């Protein structure tokens, strides 16, 4: 009885060939227009041009495609790594990372990995090139891998030809695929070098990852081949001699410890495919199980696995522009050198003499020669037609131009401020979309590079770091300090076995903008203005657990302005100076001042004002209202009193009916003379307490706010409760209003 084979989560080697060719058949259909896409991107002539058509193109689309990556990725995109989990070297289990883990891996990335990722070209050039190719094909596959820089292990990435990468059958994107096939083409000399270098190399437990015996048999078979029509890129198609290659295919499967097998499929009997020969075995060491193939999409429609590029969207319109340009040049040529009609006997006619040249003699003999006049309608209509199609092209590309007037059929064009602003906004949103696409894709690329690197490093190493990094590491006790608290060295000791784990990175899309971008300057300037206008903002930010780094804000602002030698303007502090400057003195602000008229004040405020002026008054006096008198103190000159205000000067003296003596009148009171206007500085703390007390009295007595305020201050001044109640009843009861 045959024993059942144990099932795994990955493809078995005997299934590689079938799945590989299924994927190849599916995706080769999408390769068919690639040749035309490449022609348009390179601004090459069509191969079917008539002999009389000038060999010239318009080239607008090619210019837009080339310029877009330079504008979108003006500088290297940056971001910070975070630690998802760390491997405990003693237990072998994933756990919480140490505080220094995050700081150290960011230093490793910026000092050891990214500066050495120069396979093909520099990192920023590769990022720009991958976006450029995505605009052509719809997407670009990117492959990251471990390699050696001299004798040191590092991580790098390269851009692959989309013709050499096949996604899982039926899947529409790289993230949706559980496995991806990649073709690699080796010349006979390259294969010979691999065999030579791999012999005697001790890796992976004492042996190379290559099967040397299998490679030697393949090399000796001379079964090398040329690329077929669809596999060749534009440069290879133009080569007079086709190179011979050995084609190897690697399957990258998703999942930790999933097999990364490289195999060779030779020719079998009767023209059939031969068996799969495994020539290299590796495994996925990424703790997150990611695979090292990442697609950067221009536009992802989830139908075409390569997405949609700008060439596919606008290629037809560009062909029209090319054709109009060619006809325009042809019409000018005909207008300058029109056709010549020769009739009759030409035996004596020297046709070679009929050249348009100053003082040129034409020897016509007895033949009749006429210069044909042609219509110039095409020259007249050309600007309008050209601008119309150019407008359509720029609209489809979401880019801006001012050389197309509004009369070309699109009112959004032209040189008016509104048209220019509209085009800039449209181009800005388009650029921001591409920046986010690049940030998302390269976050995955850099994450896999770092995870693969960290989990394949072993042993100890001394790494040189910058002064600022040394200061940060010294605060985390990774670098010793001297008596002044300064780092004692600029080298950090790394125990690679203690920094195995899983990390992630989020690239900042805006970090790739031009440092002197006007939009960036405006944003930073607006932020600084907001902070200056609201002095409490820093305290608010600190209270929520964040810190506003004003020094870095000014550095960014000066950088945006293009200021050079910023470090001479803003000098970095030493560790000792930083500790001294760590405590920021509290901000002191003037109390707010309020200007208002005396009659508009509530009684409580009127009472406070009069008492501040030295007048001995009670709240009841204030509520009784003013009694004007021109002879008191002479400090204020009140306005004439209304008719309903009691007058004391015109009232005759009254007599006591018991004694017959005049009843003495009370002398004029200080509070009877009030100012018409005053400036008042309230105490915010007292006002808050008063507001609470007033609210309580309003609920207790059921009175209006101004009456409640009077009751609060009357109680504060010791007025008996029965007198307060009597006053309320006299003036309208519990619901009384101020007179």
Which has more confidence, 210 or 637? 210
pLDDT at position 414: 53
The residue with greater pLDDT, 552 or 686, is 552
pLDDT in the model for residue 206: 47
Neighbours of 584 (CB within 10 A): 10
Q: Check whether 596 has a pLDDT greater than 70.
A: no
Beta bridge mates, 260: 252, 282
- What percentage of residues in the chain have a pLDDT greater than 70? 74
pLDDT for the residue 629: 45
pLDDT at 646 over 50: no
pLDDT at 207: 63
Average pLDDT of span 142-162: 93
Q: What angle do CA 365, 371, 372 make, to 5 degrees?
A: 140
Q: What is the mean pLDDT of the chain?
A: 78
Q: Regarding predicted confidence, which is higher, 368 or 657?
A: 368
Residue 576: pLDDT above 70? no
SS3 letters across 360-420: CCCCCCCCEEEECCCCCHHHHHHHHHHHHHHHHHHHHHCCCCCCCCHHHCCCCCCCCHHHH
Kindly state the helix (H) or strand (E) to which residue 723 belongs, with its residue range. helix 721-730
Q: Which residue has the higher pLDDT, 299 or 228?
A: 299
Both tokens of 405, joined, read: 């007037």
**Residue length of the chain:** 739
Per-residue burial over 392-407, b if 16 or more Cβ lie within 10 Å, else e, is bbbbbbbbbbeebbee
Residue pLDDT, tens place only, 72-122: 998 999 999 999 988 776 666 777 888 889 999 999 999 999 999 999 999
Per-residue pLDDT, 481: 86
Query: What Å distances lie between residue 326 and 46, 50, 315, CA to CA?
Result: 12, 11, 17
Q: Considering only CA atoms, give the Rg of the chain.
A: 43
Q: What is the mean pLDDT of residues 452-462?
A: 91
Do the beta carbons of residue 737 and residue 707 sit within 8 Å? yes
More confident site: 126 or 578 = 126
Q: Give the strand order in the sheet containing 94-95.
A: 94-95, 79-87, 501-507
Is the CB of residue 131 less than 8 Å from the CB of residue 147?
no
Does the pLDDT value for residue 141 go beyond 90? yes
pLDDT higher for 252 or 236?
A: 252
**Band of residue 517 on the pLDDT scale cut at 50, 70, 90:** low
3-state helix, strand, coil in the chain (%, to 5): 45, 15, 40
Which pLDDT belongs to residue 181?
97
* Beta-strand relationship, 594-597 and 677-680: antiparallel
In whole angstroms, how far apart are CA 187 and each of 119, 191, 217, 274, 588?
19, 6, 15, 20, 76
Span 59-82, average pLDDT = 91
Q: Is the pLDDT of residue 423 over 80?
A: no
Tell me, what's the pLDDT at 580?
Answer: 62
Q: What is the pLDDT of residue 418?
A: 56
Start-to-end CA distance of the chain, whole Å, equals 111
Q: Is the pLDDT of residue 436 over 80?
A: yes
Across the range 380-402, mean pLDDT stands at: 71
- Provide the residue ranges of all domains of the chain, joining segments of one domain with +: 32-177+292-328+428-513, 179-253+255-289, 514-580, 594-634+669-735
Range with the lowest mean pLDDT among 13-17, 400-404, 471-475, 715-719?
400-404
- Determine the average pLDDT of the residues in 138-160: 93
The confidence band for 139, taking pLDDT boundaries of 50, 70 and 90, is: very high
Residue partners of 692: CB distance under 8 A and separation at least 6: none
Least confident of 381-395, 468-482, 514-528: 514-528
Q: Which residues contact 221 (CB under 8 A, 6 or more apart)?
A: 266
Per-residue confidence (pLDDT) for residue 684, from 0 to 100: 38
Pick from 131-135, 424-428, 605-609: least confident: 424-428
């Amino acid at each position: 009885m045959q024993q059942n084979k144990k099932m795994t989560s990955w493809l078995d080697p005997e299934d590689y060939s079938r799945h590989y060719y299924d994927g190849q058949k599916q995706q080769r259909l999408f390769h068919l227009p690639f040749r035309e896409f490449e022609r348009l991107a390179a601004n090459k002539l069509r191969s079917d041009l008539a002999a009389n058509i000038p060999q010239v193109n318009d080239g607008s689309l090619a210019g837009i495609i080339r310029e877009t990556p330079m504008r979108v990725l003006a500088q290297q995109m940056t971001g910070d790594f975070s630690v998802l989990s760390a491997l405990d070297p003693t237990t072998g289990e994933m756990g919480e990372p140490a505080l220094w883990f995050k700081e150290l891996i960011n230093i490793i990335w910026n000092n050891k990995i990214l500066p050495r990722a120069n396979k093909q070209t520099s990192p920023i050039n590769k990022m720009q090139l991958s976006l450029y190719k995505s605009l052509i094909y719809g997407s670009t596959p990117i492959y990251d891998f471990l390699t050696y820089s001299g004798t040191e292990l590092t991580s790098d990435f390269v851009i692959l030809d989309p013709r050499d990468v096949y996604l899982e059958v039926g899947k529409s994107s790289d993230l949706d695929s559980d496995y991806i096939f990649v073709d690699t083409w080796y010349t006979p000399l390259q294969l010979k070098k691999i065999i030579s270098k791999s012999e005697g190399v001790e890796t992976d437990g004492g042996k190379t990852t290559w099967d040397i015996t299998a490679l030697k048999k393949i090399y000796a078979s001379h079964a090398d081949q040329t690329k077929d029509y669809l596999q060749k890129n534009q440069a290879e198609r133009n080569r007079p001699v086709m190179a011979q290659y050995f084609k190897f295919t690697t399957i990258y499967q998703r999942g930790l410890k999933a097999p990364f097998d490289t195999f060779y499929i030779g020719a079998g009997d009767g023209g059939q495919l031969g068996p799969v020969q495994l020539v290299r075995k590796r495994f996925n060491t990424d703790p997150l199980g990611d695979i090292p193939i990442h697609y950067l999409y221009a536009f992802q429609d989830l139908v075409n696995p390569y997405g949609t590029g700008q060439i596919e969207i606008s290629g037809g319109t560009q062909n029209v522009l090319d054709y109009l340009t060619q006809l325009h040049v042809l019409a000018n040529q005909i207008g300058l050198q029109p056709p010549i009609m020769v009739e009759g006997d030409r035996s004596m006619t020297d046709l070679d003499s009929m050249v348009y040249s100053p003082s040129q003699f034409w020897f016509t003999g007895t033949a009749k020669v006429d210069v044909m006049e042609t219509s110039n309608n095409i020259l007249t209509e050309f600007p309008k037609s050209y601008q119309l199609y150019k407008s359509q092209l720029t609209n489809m590309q979401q880019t801006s131009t001012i050389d197309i007037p509004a009369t070309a059929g699109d009112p959004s064009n032209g040189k008016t401020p509104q048209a220019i602003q509209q085009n800039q906004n449209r181009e800005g949103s388009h650029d921001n979309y591409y920046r986010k696409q690049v940030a998302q894709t390269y976050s995955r690329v850099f994450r896999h590079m770092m995870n693969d690197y960290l989990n394949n490093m072993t042993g100890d190493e001394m790494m040189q770091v910058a002064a600022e990094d040394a200061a940060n590491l010294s605060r985390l006790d990774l670098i010793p300090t001297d008596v002044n608290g300064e780092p004692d060295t600029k080298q950090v000791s790394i125990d690679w076995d203690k920094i195995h784990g899983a990390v992630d990175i989020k690239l900042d899309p805006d970090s790739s903008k031009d440092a002197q971008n006007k939009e960036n300057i405006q944003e930073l300037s607006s932020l600084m203005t907001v902070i200056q206008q609201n002095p409490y903002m820093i305290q608010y930010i600190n209270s929520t657990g964040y810190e506003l780094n004003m020094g870095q804000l000014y550095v960014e602002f000066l950088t945006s302005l293009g200021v050079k030698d910023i470090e001479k303007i803003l000098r970095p502090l030493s560790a000792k100076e930083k500790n001294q400057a760590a405590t920021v003195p509290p901000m002191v602000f003037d109390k707010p001042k309020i200007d208002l008229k005396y009659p508009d004040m509530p009684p409580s405020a009127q009472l406070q004002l009069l008492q501040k002026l030295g007048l001995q008054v009670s709240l009841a006096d204030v509520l009784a209202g003013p009694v004007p008198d021109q002879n008191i103190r002479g400090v204020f000159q009140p306005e004439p009193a209304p008719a309903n205000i009691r007058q004391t000067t015109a009232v005759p003296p009254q007599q006591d009916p018991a004694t017959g003596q005049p009843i003495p009148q009370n002398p004029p009171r200080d509070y009877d003379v009030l100012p018409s206007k005053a400036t008042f500085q309230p105490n915010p703390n007292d006002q808050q307490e008063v507001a609470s007390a007033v609210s309580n009295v309003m609920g207790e007595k059921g009175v209006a706010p101004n009456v409640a305020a009077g009751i609060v201050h009357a109680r504060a001044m010791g007025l008996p409760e029965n007198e307060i109640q009597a006053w309320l009843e006299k003036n309208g009861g519990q619901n009384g209003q101020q007179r």
